[in-house]
């Protein structure tokens, strides 16, 4: 899934000559938490978040000083340099950028031109879509040996039972030399496929039917 399929477009922006007061007004009127700052054209030179605004409003400031601070240009509080994404970047790679850099949003830039914005909530939504968690389904986890071909072998059991796989994720097991394959499948009653997998010799885990599939904890 590409970022361009989930990014927000028509992003509200300010220029580097606008004031902090302008940023506050825009956040309130547009109900947003992040504002890309441009150079007056389309190039992003910084970004201002609601946290940046809060940081300049300590309770110790007098009303007069607070009002004066708000008349300063947004360049005084904007974050630079700006980490950006490209419209054709993959959602999974962008999720890694969010995690590694602890950012709340990423401007999406193409040829130095702002074309969109992606936020943490957008990322969560996209990952929910990728994993199929937005539709009626069940999760089944299968413990396999860490060697090539295991995913195909397990998928063959699903095919035989005519159970559609919505998504599949692999992660290391607590057991040495083993991996967990986590499947989201298009059925709300996974007992038949659990039985088929167990008959094929696999360790199967399903939290809704512990008597059948157990728990991987």
Least Cα distance to 143 among 207, 206, 202, 211 occurs for: 202
Residue 206 has pLDDT above 50, yes or no: yes
Please tell me the class of the 3-128 domain.
alpha beta
- Over range 110-117, report the average pLDDT: 95
Which band of pLDDT confidence, cut at 50, 70 and 90, is reported for residue 202? Answer: very high
Cα distance between residue 210 and residue 157, in whole Å: 20
- Pairing outcome for strands 113-119 and 138-145: unpaired
Cβ partners under 8 Å of residue 50, min gap 6: 27, 33, 34
Assess whether pLDDT exceeds 80 at residue 133.
yes
Check residue 111 and give left, alpha or beta (phi > 0: left; psi -120 to 50: alpha): left
DSSP 82: P
| pLDDT average, residue stretch 189-202 | 94
Q: How many CB atoms lie within 10 A of CB 163?
A: 19
pTM for this model (two decimals): 0.76
**Quick one: CATH architecture of 133-213?**
2-Layer Sandwich (3.30)
Q: Which two tokens stand for residue 56?
A: 């300049």
pLDDT band at 210 (very low <50, low <70, confident <90, very high): low
In this structure, what are the phi and psi dihedrals at residue 197, rounded to the nearest 5 degrees? -65, -40
- Break the chain into its structural domains and give their ranges: 3-128, 133-213
* pLDDT at residue 33 is higher than 80: yes
- In the block, which residue shows the tokens 């088929």? 196
Using only C-alpha atoms, the chain has a radius of gyration, in whole angstroms, of 24
Q: Which whole number is the average pLDDT over 23-52?
A: 94
Please report the pLDDT score of residue 58 as a whole number: 56
């Amino acid at each position: 899934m590409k970022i361009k399929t989930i990014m927000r477009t028509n992003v509200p922006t300010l220029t580097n000559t606008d004031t902090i007061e302008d940023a506050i007004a825009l956040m309130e009127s547009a109900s947003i938490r992040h504002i890309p700052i441009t150079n007056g054209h389309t190039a992003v030179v910084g970004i201002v978040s609601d946290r940046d605004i809060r940081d300049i409003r300590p309770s110790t400031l007098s009303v007069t000083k607070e009002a004066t601070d708000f008349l300063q240009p947004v360049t005084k509080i904007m974050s630079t340099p700006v980490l950006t994404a490209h419209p054709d970047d993959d959602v999974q790679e962008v999720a890694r950028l969010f995690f590694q850099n602890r950012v709340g949003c990423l401007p999406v830039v193409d040829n130095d031109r702002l074309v969109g914005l992606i936020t943490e909530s957008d990322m969560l939504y996209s990952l929910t879509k990728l994993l199929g968690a937005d539709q009626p389904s069940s999760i089944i986890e299968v413990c396999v040996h860490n060697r090539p071909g295991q995913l195909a072998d397990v998928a063959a059991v699903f095919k035989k039972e005519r159970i559609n796989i919505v998504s599949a994720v692999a992660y290391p097991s607590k057991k040495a030399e083993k991996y967990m394959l986590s499947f989201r499948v298009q059925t709300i009653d996974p007992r038949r496929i659990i039985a088929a997998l167990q008959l094929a010799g696999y360790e199967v885990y399903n939290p809704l039917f512990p008597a059948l599939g157990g728990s991987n904890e």
